[in-house]
Structure 1
Amino acid sequence: MPATVKTSVPSANDVLMPETLLKKRRGDTKAREQKAADRVEAKRAQKNKRRVIFKRAEQYVKENQAREREEIRLRRAAKASGDFYVPAQPKVAFVIRLRGINNIAPKPRKILQLLRLIQINNGVFVKLTKATQQMLQLVEPYVTYGEPTVASIRNLIYKRGYAKVNRQRLPITSNTLIEEHLGKYGIISVEDLVHEIATAGPNFKYANQFLWSFKLSNPNGGFKGKKFTHYIEGGNTGNREGDINRMVKLMN
């Protein structure tokens, strides 16, 4: 009996696909797998970054506490030996503009522009050097300033802090914005920014330029005494040293 050869007839489900479509499907599958892997890697990197931020924040707290304890120890030692304790000169001042544009001489007006104190109740951080101290003396009738505490700096940045990016005023809503513009200086979070300002660190200039000048409100209860009289005469202008923190609290 002669052998019979069976030929398979393609069914409707065995439709041949073009090679281009197969390549596209393989490419899409590979892209999905790569995207999933990138997502996992991004989550891991974000977790590690948060851990670094928390460790830095804890370190800053310990440094501030150690500094406060050392200052208390020095005060007690000086008192016990009958001496006077003279604290170190402040490194940073917070300056608030009190007077408008009327009746301001050209030189103080220019200094106020250089300090970015364009409007009434604008506030900025200034690193105290010989040059900046001379500038502040020239504009004392128009501003008030003093040494801010770490708590005041933190409250200002968290509550009133805005970033200056491409001449735009952007709210600081996340650490990502800070890392994008200050990450190359080792500043990746708000706490890093606070620490750099408070300690007048090596990158103070870039950190301060990143911050838009603070727009404060009039103090609760109004100004005490005459607004344009010097602070030591019962007014509000000039150097008020540590009492600037009370003024910041009233205006923040």
Structure 2
Amino acid sequence: MLLVLPALRDSFLVLSPQRMNLPVAMLALLLGVSTVLLALHARRYVARALLLAGLGSLALAGTAEEFEETPPVRANRLVYYKDMPTWDAYWLKPAGPLDAWERRLFANLSRPHYFVNVFGWERPEQWYAWAPRTGLEFPFIRILRNGKAPDRHADFTLVSKNRAPEIRLEVIGARALRTTMNGRVLTDKEAKTLKIVVYGMEDELLHFRIDVLGDPIFGVRVEEIVPGLPEHLLPPRPVDAAPLIPLSGTSVSADTLWFY
């Protein structure tokens, strides 16, 4: 009996979409299982308790309109992109509608565009704006060897000063024949395209060797992926703005190595 009122309150606040059906259902259940108790000598006390429980459920149902729903949160699709070849950093967002805060951030554009200076024509149109370069460190890369034909290969080391949980590499302009990381073979067959994704290495020293077909000029694109954004570089969001899922934005530190 003592647990009835707390249960009614919790069902009202949490489980009942209409704020009424569960309290009433619990009251009906309570009346059903209390029939035997009503036949006892203490039935008058039981009846009083049931009456109070019923009044409590009706009071909760009566305040349903006063309850305010929590605004739904949404994912933040904003990207902080720090690019070594252009020695700059940018805010990026896929094409789509902007809220008032985002319109101020991308005030330099009236609509999405191809960001040719950074991505060429490969990526779709997007929103972009310049950002401070202090959000991330650039990938720390050392080229050890630029092997010539007939043993054409790229040999380099990579350390993520950002302790990135995800690192992506992509070979540009060549067919990879064999790829190793820290002496471990990753691929040993000819591949028209090659993309490598490494997880959980943080600031470990990674030694890559990529053997390619022929004697091409080719590149290796390196991207360090870090969840979340450098919030201290962003203007504050309005208090009444829709809340965002924490760490749903993405930060990327990128470099492109060219082997001639």
Asked whether the two chains share a fold, i.e. TM above 0.5, the reply is no
Q: Going by fraction, where is strand more abundant, 1 or 2?
A: 2
Q: Give the alignment's TM-score, normalised by structure 2.
A: 0.24
Q: Going by fraction, where is helix more abundant, 1 or 2?
A: 1
